[in-house]
Amino acid sequence: MELEQTVGAGTSQSTLQHPNNRNFPPPAPTRSGSMETQHPYSLLWHKNISFKSSFLLWRALRGKLPTNDKITNFGVEPSTCVCCFDRSGMDSIEHIFSTGKFAAAVWSSFAATAGMLSDCSSLQALIQQWWAVRPRNAAHKTLLQATPIFICWNLWKNRCAAKYGGKTANISKVKYAIYKDNYKMLTNAFPQVKWPAKWAELIHMSERCVHDIKVNMVTWTRPKDQWIKVNTDGSAINNPGKMGVGGILRDKSDRLVMALTTPLGEGTNNKAELEAVILGLTWALELGYKNIILELDSQLVVHWILKEAAPQWSIITQLGRLQNLISQTQNFKCLHVFREANWVADALSKHSHKTTTPQVYFNIQQMPKEARSYNHLHLLQMPSVRRKKTKRIKEPP
């Protein structure tokens, strides 16, 4: 028995780590991930954001910074702030980073260019506000993630310079430093883009950047001599929900051997995918075929069939039935294909939701109209164009 597989151009979804333990330094920054992460502060860490800036904010959010409001009880130093012109505030974390006049002015200035009204009620609110914006592309996402971190970092640097370095708090200096941190980060992460020399232009360009598109031509190909090709697909209207499967068997001369569409009751997408494969293989074996190429568009199910991934417990029985069928073949290949190469099976599986009884077709004229026209495209070996966004960012057109 021969096992073979082709792998689709899938990209792995990376995840962000977050500190689980309040008392220990956080894990090192990791690759960027989705904005919809579970942990509210998971966006603190990013490979392109300097660790010291992320770490500072992490400490601020946990109240772990040496501010004067804490030591004033000991009568060591005055508890007033050093950031505001009239020094009317307290040297507290919330004042330095969000509620103080100086901080509020910095936040509002950056928020305005990003189309937001700053909510300076708390540091947490400010950060969540930036992280809740829906990013337009990877560069915009990085900028939305990093800006609140760089704002805090530079507010803290400003406060320390005023307190220990004898400098006067300077709002334009702070704003420029925040811009510069963002500029460096974007240039580092997306060197192919010429990033502008002003904050307002920087954020607007990041909004309008576009992802490069990769074009792939996808074709269904006929099997070689002695082989039969089985394309299957399963679908569930909701996941889980009403399941249905479809499949089509074609030989080396493109001849339709048989096709099927079957409603299956309630279940998940994966269950439907596996049931489709079981039905397709059962038919191929029943009709006397021993050299079988199986094609489906679910990468996960292909991994299960080829035993490259541990299956969920709920589908172990189904997989057992499937392995039993595979053992009855002489040669067996299981391939992952893009949906465009599996359109007939896809159409047949969707058609099952319109029927109440299983349907089997032995000639093309009997097949549902949609499936028939996709089959026609496949027979003409007509390639479908598959466009896929890449991670590469381009300047706006």
Q: How far apart are CA 355 and CA 369, in angstroms?
A: 14
Q: What is the DSSP letter of 90?
A: B
Tokens 């409001």 sit at which residue? Answer: 69
Cβ proximity to Zn ion: between 102 and 374 the closer is 102
Cβ proximity to Zn ion: between 90 and 189 the closer is 90
Cβ proximity to Zn ion: between 20 and 172 the closer is 172
* Contacting residues for 210 by C-beta, under 8 A, at least 6 apart: 137, 393, 394, 396, 397
Cβ proximity to Zn ion: between 81 and 228 the closer is 81
Contact residue for Zn ion among 35, 84, 237, 285 (CB under 5 A): 84
Contact residue for Zn ion among 19, 29, 33, 100 (CB under 5 A): 100
Residues 254-313 interacting with Zn ion (rule: CB under 5 A): none
Interface with Zn ion includes 148 (CB under 5 A)?
no
**Interacting stretch for Zn ion, rule CB under 5 A, among 48-56, 73-81, 110-118, 254-262?**
73-81
For the CB of residue 77, give the shortest distance to Zn ion in the complex, in Å: 15
Interface with Zn ion includes 83 (CB under 5 A)?
yes
**Interacting stretch for Zn ion, rule CB under 5 A, among 10-18, 83-91, 173-181, 339-347?**
83-91
Residues 318-357 interacting with Zn ion (rule: CB under 5 A): none
Contact residue for Zn ion among 19, 89, 148, 247 (CB under 5 A): 89
For the CB of residue 81, give the shortest distance to Zn ion in the complex, in Å: 3
Residues 118-147 interacting with Zn ion (rule: CB under 5 A): none
For the CB of residue 147, give the shortest distance to Zn ion in the complex, in Å: 21
For the CB of residue 125, give the shortest distance to Zn ion in the complex, in Å: 18
Q: What tokens appear for 355 in the block? A: 């029927």
For the CB of residue 100, give the shortest distance to Zn ion in the complex, in Å: 4
Binding residues with Zn ion: total (CB under 5 A): 5
Q: Under a CB-based contact definition with an 8 Å cutoff, are residues 279 and 285 in contact?
A: no
**Interacting stretch for Zn ion, rule CB under 5 A, among 53-61, 100-108, 129-137, 153-161?**
100-108
* Contacting residues for 351 by C-beta, under 8 A, at least 6 apart: 244, 246, 261, 359, 368, 370, 371
Interface with Zn ion includes 81 (CB under 5 A)?
yes
Cβ burial of 313 (10 Å; 0-12, 13-18, 19+) is exposed
**Interacting stretch for Zn ion, rule CB under 5 A, among 21-29, 59-67, 88-96, 330-338?**
88-96
**Interacting stretch for Zn ion, rule CB under 5 A, among 52-60, 82-90, 284-292, 327-335?**
82-90
For the CB of residue 129, give the shortest distance to Zn ion in the complex, in Å: 21
Cβ proximity to Zn ion: between 102 and 195 the closer is 102
Q: How far apart are CA 389 and CA 397, in angstroms?
A: 16
Q: How far apart are CA 290 and CA 278, in angstroms?
A: 15
For the CB of residue 138, give the shortest distance to Zn ion in the complex, in Å: 36
Q: How far apart are CA 297 and CA 19, in angstroms?
A: 37
DSSP string of 246-281, one letter each residue: EEEEEETT--EEEEEEEEEEEE-HHHHHHHHHHHHH
For the CB of residue 216, give the shortest distance to Zn ion in the complex, in Å: 56
Interface with Zn ion includes 155 (CB under 5 A)?
no
SS3 175: helix
Q: How far apart are CA 127 and CA 284, in angstroms?
A: 58
Hey, what long-range contacts does 26-29 have (CB within 8 A, 24 or more apart)?
Answer: 26/54, 26/55, 26/58, 29/54
Q: Under a CB-based contact definition with an 8 Å cutoff, are residues 84 and 100 in contact?
A: yes
**Interacting stretch for Zn ion, rule CB under 5 A, among 87-95, 148-156, 234-242, 377-385?**
87-95
SS3 294: strand
Q: How far apart are CA 176 and CA 106, in angstroms?
A: 11
Residues of this chain that interact with Zn ion (CB under 5 A) are 81, 83-84, 89, 100
